[in-house]
Amino acid sequence: MRSTGSWYDVKDQEGHLWQCRLKGKFKIKGFKVTNPIAVGDKVDFDIEDKTENTGIIVNIKPRTNYLIRQSVHKTAHAHMLAANVDQAILVATLFFPRTSLGFIDRFMVIAESFRIPVVLIFNKQDLLDKEIADYQNELMALYESLGYRCLATTATDGHGLDAVKAILTGKVSVLSGHSGVGKSSLINAIAPELTLRTKEVSTFANKGVHTTTFAEMFEIEPDTYIVDSPGIKELGLSEISPKEISHFFPEMRDLLNQCRYDDCLHINEPGCAVKEAVSEGTIAMSRFDSYLSMVGGQDNRR
């Protein structure tokens, strides 16, 4: 549920919390990690002290996925942010602070690279004029057609929150989005009791109330978890090579073997199936623009 350096809060099947340490060395295949265990991990532990509620983690169960990034402190090491995540939820808004399509598409590419499904929430519906609302509907249709679930909400008046609840229920979700888009408002509206319990640690909002930032998982309803992990915001494309990026665009994936050249980057190569699809309109120009800026960007070259 939470890691604070060398201690881990582990919730048992009855819902009791145990303070555990890790015994022995655990490795992830192919990675050197700074932390062998992350929020969301499922473990076996031995009870150390029943009255103090302490234990020793002796086994980490196989993970369905994990979020990982290059360690800021130790080069050649990676830091695990969360494990066993069911979905990544991006809270966006076309009002203020307006979320750019480049940011949305980049988030989706990163999530695809971790094999984590994305749900896109457009918040602040109450503040949109007709023109922007129409534009948003077009975007929602576009992203839905690519397989991304889209929702529209107004956190402050409850609009759309039942759908958000339904999407969260029974799952482990990572919540992301720029500061100010309404993440805390959404969580407050959905789980007011949790807000009361965690008021002093101020999560999601990132308003600097607490300076030490530990990865943490909140149970907002039985079996329904939200992961708050510092560092998720800073996830970049650095692990993804330019050649791989198109594999994480669902609308490009199927076309890739139709390009004339195997190493086609879909920029200006002749016989490029992706560029052809863009000119025919079957790939959205906005998505292709995002693709180009990711391939040309600085942060994806090793």
Which residues are at the interface with ligand GDP (CB under 6 A)?
A: 123-124, 126-127, 154-156, 177, 179-185, 204-205
Q: Do residues 143 and 120 make contact, with C-beta atoms less than 8 angstroms apart?
A: yes
Q: Closer CB to ligand GDP, residue 17 or residue 209?
A: 209
Q: Do residues 78 and 33 make contact, with C-beta atoms less than 8 angstroms apart?
A: yes
Write out the binding residues for Zn ion, residues 268-297 only, by CB under 5 A. Answer: 272, 274
DSSP letter at 98?
Answer: P
What is the smallest separation between the CB atom of 89 and ligand GDP, expressed in angstroms?
12
When CB distances are held under 5 to 8 angstroms depending on the partner's kind, the choice from ligand GDP, Zn ion, none that residue 43 binds is none
What is the smallest separation between the CB atom of 83 and ligand GDP, expressed in angstroms?
24
DSSP letter at 240?
Answer: S
Q: What is the C-alpha to C-alpha distance for residues 76 and 134, in angstroms, rounded to an integer?
A: 46
| 3 state SS of 172 | strand
Q: Closer CB to ligand GDP, residue 146 or residue 161?
A: 161
What is the smallest separation between the CB atom of 294 and Zn ion, expressed in angstroms?
15
Q: What are phi and psi of 31, to 5 degrees?
A: -130, 145
Q: What are phi and psi of 2, to 5 degrees?
A: -165, 140
- Residue 273 tokens read as 């199936």
Q: Closer CB to ligand GDP, residue 107 or residue 288?
A: 107
* Percentages (nearest 5) of helix, strand, coil residues in the chain: 30, 25, 45
| Burial (Cβ within 10 Å: 0-12, 13-18, ≥19) of residue 217 | buried
When CB distances are held under 5 to 8 angstroms depending on the partner's kind, the choice from Zn ion, ligand GDP, none that residue 250 binds is none
When CB distances are held under 5 to 8 angstroms depending on the partner's kind, the choice from ligand GDP, Zn ion, none that residue 154 binds is ligand GDP
Segment near Zn ion (CB under 5 A); pick from 44-52, 62-70, 217-225, 255-263: 255-263
Q: Closer CB to ligand GDP, residue 233 or residue 253?
A: 233
- Peptide bond before residue 270 is cis, with ω within 30 degrees of 0: no
When CB distances are held under 5 to 8 angstroms depending on the partner's kind, the choice from ligand GDP, Zn ion, none that residue 124 binds is ligand GDP
235 binds Zn ion (CB under 5 A): no
Torsion of CA 25, 30, 32, 38, to 10 degrees: -70
What is the smallest separation between the CB atom of 259 and Zn ion, expressed in angstroms?
3
Write out the binding residues for Zn ion, residues 110-169 only, by CB under 5 A. Answer: none
Q: What is the C-alpha to C-alpha distance for residues 272 and 258, in angstroms, rounded to an integer?
A: 7
When CB distances are held under 5 to 8 angstroms depending on the partner's kind, the choice from Zn ion, ligand GDP, none that residue 183 binds is ligand GDP
264 binds Zn ion (CB under 5 A): yes
Which positions touch Zn ion (CB under 5 A)?
259, 264, 266, 272, 274
